[in-house]
C-alpha cells in the first residue's frame, strides 16, 4: 500500500543546496509542505522556499548549526511552531572534507562524527518525539561498504550513521519507518566540476554519472512504500558492488 505525501509536512536538513534542495523541491512537487533547514546558506534557503511556494505548497527556512544539539532541538521547535507536526524527516545535511588515513586528525574525525552521524541521530530523536508515526530517510554513501582513502574521517562518520540507521529502524518500529539512500556519482564535490565525475565513471558498472532526479525518485519511493523499513537504496549505478574489493 502506497503512502500519500500530499498534505504531509517534511523537514529536509541541508535543504538549501545541492541534493538536499532537489529533495525539498521533489517533496513539494509530490504535494508536501517543506521546512528547509540551512546552516550558512540563508539566501539559497529562502530561494528554495520561494520555489516551493511557486509550486503551490507551504515552505519555511529555519537555521541551525547541527553540530550543537541544542540547535537541533531548537530547529524542531521552530519547525513545529511554523508548520505544525512533521510526518517526514530527510537527513541530508553532511560534510565532505578530504582527509587521508596517514594524516587525518582527531579533530577531523570528531567533526565528521558530529555532523555525519550524531547530528542526524539527534534530529531523528527529536522527530520521533513530536509525532505518533512517520517516516525517515537518511543519506548514506555508496562507499560505506568499502573504503574511501581520500576522505577517511568522512567515511568513518557515514559508516557509523549506517549502523545508526539500522538501529533506528529496529528500535522505532512499528510507529516509524527508517530507510536510507546511498548516492554514488551524482554531483561533484564543492570546488570540482563535471570532469571530476567523468574521470570516475569508468569504475561504475553502468558506466555513467547519475542525476539528482535519480536520488529524489529513490527518496520518494522509500517515503511511499509503507512496508519497507531498514532498507538502503544504492543510487550509484552499481558502484557499491565493487567497493568491497577496492581496499
Positive or negative, the Cα torsion across 13, 18, 23, 25? positive
Cell numbers found for residue 31: 504535494
Angle at which helices 152-171 and 119-128 cross, to 10°: 20
**What's the rounded mean pLDDT across residues 164-174?**
98
Q: Which tens digit of pLDDT belongs to each residue from 94-130? A: 999 999 999 999 999 999 999 999 999 999 999 999 9
184, 139 Cβ separation under 8 angstroms: no
Q: What is the pLDDT of residue 125?
A: 97
Q: What is the pLDDT of residue 116?
A: 97
CA–CA gap between residue 63 and residue 131 (Å, rounded): 21
Does residue 245 register a pLDDT over 70?
no
Q: What is the pLDDT of residue 87?
A: 97
Q: Name every residue whose Cβ is closer than 8 Å to that of residue 164 and which is 6 or more positions away in sequence.
A: 117, 120, 121, 138
CA–CA gap between residue 39 and residue 33 (Å, rounded): 20
CA–CA gap between residue 112 and residue 53 (Å, rounded): 33
Q: Among 108-112, 158-162, 192-196, where is mean pLDDT lowest?
A: 192-196
CA–CA gap between residue 142 and residue 197 (Å, rounded): 14
User: Residue 190's pLDDT band (boundaries 50, 70, 90)?
Assistant: confident
CA–CA gap between residue 84 and residue 73 (Å, rounded): 15
Q: What is the pLDDT of residue 1?
A: 46
Q: What is the pLDDT of residue 147?
A: 93
Mean pLDDT of the chain: 95
Task: Give all strands of the β-sheet with 33-38 in edge-to-edge order.
Answer: 59-63, 33-38, 9-13, 88-91, 134-139, 176-183, 232-235
User: Residue 243's pLDDT band (boundaries 50, 70, 90)?
Assistant: confident
Q: What is the pLDDT of residue 107?
A: 97
CA–CA gap between residue 114 and residue 240 (Å, rounded): 25
Q: What is the pLDDT of residue 4?
A: 86
Q: Which tens digit of pLDDT belongs to each residue from 66-102? A: 999 999 999 999 999 999 999 999 999 999 999 999 9
Does residue 210 register a pLDDT over 80?
yes
Q: Name every residue whose Cβ is closer than 8 Å to that of residue 82 and which is 6 or more positions away in sequence.
A: 35, 60, 62
Q: Which tens digit of pLDDT belongs to each residue from 4-35? A: 899 999 999 999 999 999 999 999 999 999 99
Q: Does the domain spanning 9-243 belong to CATH 3.30.360.10?
A: no
Amino acid at each position: 500500500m502506497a503512502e500519500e505525501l500530499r498534505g504531509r509536512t517534511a523537514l529536509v536538513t541541508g535543504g538549501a543546496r545541492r541534493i538536499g534542495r532537489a529533495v525539498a523541491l521533489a517533496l513539494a512537487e509530490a504535494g508536501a509542505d517543506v521546512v528547509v533547514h540551512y546552516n550558512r546558506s540563508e539566501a539559497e534557503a529562502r530561494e528554495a522556499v520561494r520555489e516551493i511556494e511557486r509550486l503551490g505548497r507551504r515552505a519555511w527556512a529555519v537555521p541551525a548549526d547541527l553540530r550543537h544539539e541544542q540547535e537541533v532541538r531548537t530547529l524542531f521547535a521552530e519547525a513545529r511552531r511554523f508548520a505544525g507536526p512533521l510526518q517526514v524527516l530527510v537527513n541530508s545535511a553532511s560534510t565532505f572534507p578530504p582527509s587521508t588515513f596517514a594524516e587525518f586528525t582527531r579533530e577531523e574525525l570528531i567533526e565528521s562524527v558530529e555532523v555525519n552521524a550524531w547530528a542526524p541521530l539527534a534530529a531523528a530523536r527529536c522527530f520521533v518525539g513530536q509525532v505518533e508515526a512517520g517516516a525517515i530517510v537518511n543519506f548514506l554513501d555508496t562507499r560505506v561498504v568499502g573504503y574511501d582513502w581520500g576522505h577517511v574521517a568522512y567515511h568513518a562518520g557515514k559508516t557509523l550513521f549506517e549502523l545508526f540507521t539500522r538501529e533506528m529502524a529496529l528500535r522505532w518500529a512499528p510507529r516509524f519507518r527508517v530507510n536510507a539512500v546511498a548516492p554514488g556519482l551524482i554531483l561533484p564535490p564543492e570546488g570540482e566540476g563535471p570532469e571530476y565525475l567523468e574521470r570516475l565513471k569508468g569504475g561504475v558498472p553502468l558506466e555513467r554519472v547519475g542525476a539528482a532526479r535519480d536520488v529524489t525518485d529513490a527518496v520518494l519511493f522509500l517515503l511511499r512504500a509503507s512496508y519497507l523499513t531498514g532498507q538502503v537504496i544504492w543510487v550509484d549505478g552499481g558502484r557499491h558492488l565493487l567497493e568491497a574489493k577496492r581496499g
